Amino acid sequence: MLAAKEKRELRQIAHHLQVIVTVGDSGVSDGVRAETDRALNDHELIKMRINIGERDERRQLAAELAESVNAEVVHNIGKVFVLFRENPKPNPLLSNRTRFAK
């Protein structure tokens, strides 16, 4: 569980990121899980978009996806969610957390 200060710092970094993973009408498939897992391994901090359902349904779907890939939902606005999972040995050229940290 991240502290409020850590979440705030991650939200600041994520502000300028582009959406990497999009969940469409098919919902969270194995392919979406695999791509989310790969993206978190590479980047640690990612933005994703969930284009289905109502607000509560999107939040539940994001929480379930985050749990399935051992990540944490850091922030969400509308259909856009920010997920974070720390990589013990991040690649400094790929990791959004290390590249954009102040």
Task: List pLDDT tens digits, range 48-102.
Answer: 999 998 999 999 999 999 999 999 999 999 999 999 999 988 888 888 888 777 6
Task: List pLDDT tens digits, range 9-35.
Answer: 999 999 999 999 999 988 889 999 999
b/e burial code for range 28-55 (CB count within 10 A of at least 16 → b): beeebeebbbebbebbbbbbbebeeeee
Q: Any idea which fold 4-100 has?
A: Translation Initiation Factor IF3 (3.30.110)
How much is the pLDDT for 99? 79
Is 71 within 8 Å of 83 (Cβ atoms)? Answer: yes
How much is the pLDDT for 20? 94
For the four alpha carbons of 21, 27, 33 and 34, in that order, the dihedral sign comes to negative
Query: Residue 29 is which amino acid?
Result: S
Is 51 within 8 Å of 22 (Cβ atoms)? Answer: yes
Q: What is the pTM of this model?
A: 0.93
